[in-house]
Amino acid sequence: MEHLPLFISIEQRPCLVVGGGAVAARKARLLLSRGARLTLVAPELCPELEQQLPEFEWRQAEFDETHLQDHFLVVAATSSKEVNARVYQLANQRGILVNKADDSKRSAVIFPSVVERFPLQLALSTGGKAPWLARLLRARIDALLPSHWGALAEVAGRLRERVKNSFGSSEERRRFWARAQDDGTLNAYLKHGNLAAAERWLQQEAQLPSQGEVILVGAGPGDPELLTVKALNELQKADVVLYDQLVSDEIMALIRPEAELIPVGKKAGNHSVPQEQINQLLVDHALEGKRVVRLKGGDPFMFGRGAEELETLVEAGIRYQVVPGITAAAGATAYAGIPLTHRDHAQSAVFITGHCKKDGEEPDWASLANSRQTLVIYMGLMRSAHIQQRLMEHGLSGATPVALIERGTTQQQKLVRGTLNELGELATQVESPALMVIGSVTSLAGKLGWFQSQAEVETLLDRAV
C-alpha cells in the first residue's frame, strides 16, 4: 500500500487550493464541508466557486511559492500539468501535505470515496488506480447502509461509558449493540430523529439481563451473491453458527471470524447430528445469552425442518427471527434457464420432496402426473427410478422432458437433460445435492440458459487454444 488510511481533522486549519475550475470547486467544497479555513489561488473562478464566495479567501493571482506559507494542506487542481507539478514539488519540499488532483503517484494525500451517515464515515480508495471502482463500491454501500445508522452512532457515543459500566466484557457489549441494532422500537425512534427517546430506551435495555436469540437464516442455493442483505448482516453478528453441509464454502467465509462454527450435517441420507440434538444445541446456546444463527441451505421453511426447530424454541421461551432464503427451485432453475411457469408449457408449479418421513404416505401421484404443470422434486435423486415408475403409471408420458441440476447457482453447476423414461439412468450422471425438474419447461433450457459454470468456461478456453 502506498498510502496509510487516516482520518485527519482539518477543522479551522489553513488549507490551500490552487486552481479555479471545476476540479478545484469540487475539492474546495469538500474541504469547506470539513471546516477548513480555505484559501484559493487562481486568476479566475468558475461560476460554482464564485457562488461560494465569501466562504473562502480568494487570492486573484498566478500561483507563487509564497502562497504556501503556513498552510497545513495544499491541493494542486489547475488545468496546467506544469503548475500542478510545481505546487507538488514546492509543498513536498516544505513537508506540507499535498494532493495533486488525478495524480496519486505525486500525492502525499489522496481523497477517498466516502459514504457518510454523520458521524459515521466509510472511506474507500483504490490508491488512485481505479477511481471508478471506488465510486461503484460507494454507491453499493450507500444503498445498503441504513439511513438512521448515523443517529445510532450518535446515541451510542453518548452512552458509551454507561454501557461499558453495565457490561463486564467487550463481548457482552458487542451482543448488546447487535441486539439493539435490530430492535424495531429503537429503529423507529432513530428514523424519526427522536434521539432522546432512543437514548432512554437504550439505558433501560442496558439494565436488563442479556437474552439469547436464535436467527433461522436461509443461505440460498449456493451463489453467495444470492444471499439477502439481512442474511449477510446476521452472519456478521453471530456468536454461534450451526450450519448444514449444503451451505457453500463461499458463504461460510462471510461469517464473523470470531463466531463458533458447529457443523450439523443435514444432507439427504447423511444426518451427522440428529434433529433432536440440533434443537437442544439451539436452546442451550441461546440460554447462555448468545446470538445463534441456524444456517440452512435454500430457504429454511422449504423442506428444511425450520418450523420444527422453531417449535422447540417456542416451548423453551427463546426469542427468534426468520430470514428467508432463495429456495433451490427458484435459484437453480433460473440459473439453468428453466422458467417454473410459462403460458405455453405450464400454468402451475408444484414442489415436493423425494425424502419423506419413515412409513410416511406416498404423494398423490395422480395429481402430480399433470403435463400442464412443472414438478420440482427436492432430494429425489435416490428415488429417481421409483419417481419415474410412479409418474408413468399414473399417465405422465415417458417423453416428458426432465432436467437434473447438480449444485445449482455455483461454479460447479451441472445440468443433465433427457426424458422421463430415462430419469433413473440420468440420475446416475449427477451427484447430490441435485434438483429434479419434470415438465416441458425444461426443454427451454437450451434456448434460455445463460449461466456458465467454471467447467463450461474451461471447456471454451480449451477450444480457443
Q: What contacts 379, CB < 8 A, 6 or more positions away? A: 268, 303, 353, 354, 355, 432, 433
Q: Give the count of beta carbons closer than 10 Å to the beta carbon of residue 457.
A: 11
How does 128-152 read in b/e, with b if 16+ C-beta sit within 10 Å?
beebeebeebbeeeeeeeeebebbb
Q: Is 57 strand, coil or helix?
A: strand
The residue with cell 457453500 is 248
Q: Rounded to whole angstroms, what are the CA distances from 179 to 120, 184, 193, 202, 279? A: 19, 10, 20, 11, 22
Instruction: Tell me the C-alpha to C-alpha distance, in Å, between residue 159 and each of 177, 202, 463.
Output: 11, 8, 63
Residue 283: closest CA among 244, 237, 322, 242? 242
296 is catalytic: no
Angle between helices 170-182 and 184-191 (to 10 degrees): 70
Report which residue type is found at 385: A
Spatial contact of 402 and 426, defined as CB atoms under 8 Å apart: yes
Cα–Cα distance measured from residue 174 to residue 439, given in angstroms and rounded to the nearest whole number: 50
CA–CA distance, 88 with 98 (Å, rounded to integer): 6
Say how far apart CA 213 and CA 217 lie, in whole Å.
13
Residue 266 is among the residues annotated as catalytic for this protein:
yes
- Assign residue 445 a region (left: φ > 0; alpha: ψ between -120 and 50; beta: otherwise): alpha
Catalytic residue of the set 100, 223, 237, 244: 244
Q: Under 8 Å CB-to-CB from 34, ≥6 apart: which residues?
A: 9, 10, 11
Q: What is the H or E stretch that residue 329 is in?
A: helix 328-336
Q: Which of 27, 100, 237, 266 is catalytic?
A: 266
Q: What's the rounded Cα separation, in Å, for the pair 327 and 340?
A: 13
Report the alpha-carbon distance of residue 404 to residue 55 in Å, rounded: 67
Q: Provide the β-strand partners of residue 100.
A: 76
CB 10 within 8 A of CB 35: yes
Q: What cell numbers appear for 193 in the block?
A: 430523529
Point out the residues that are catalytic. 244, 266
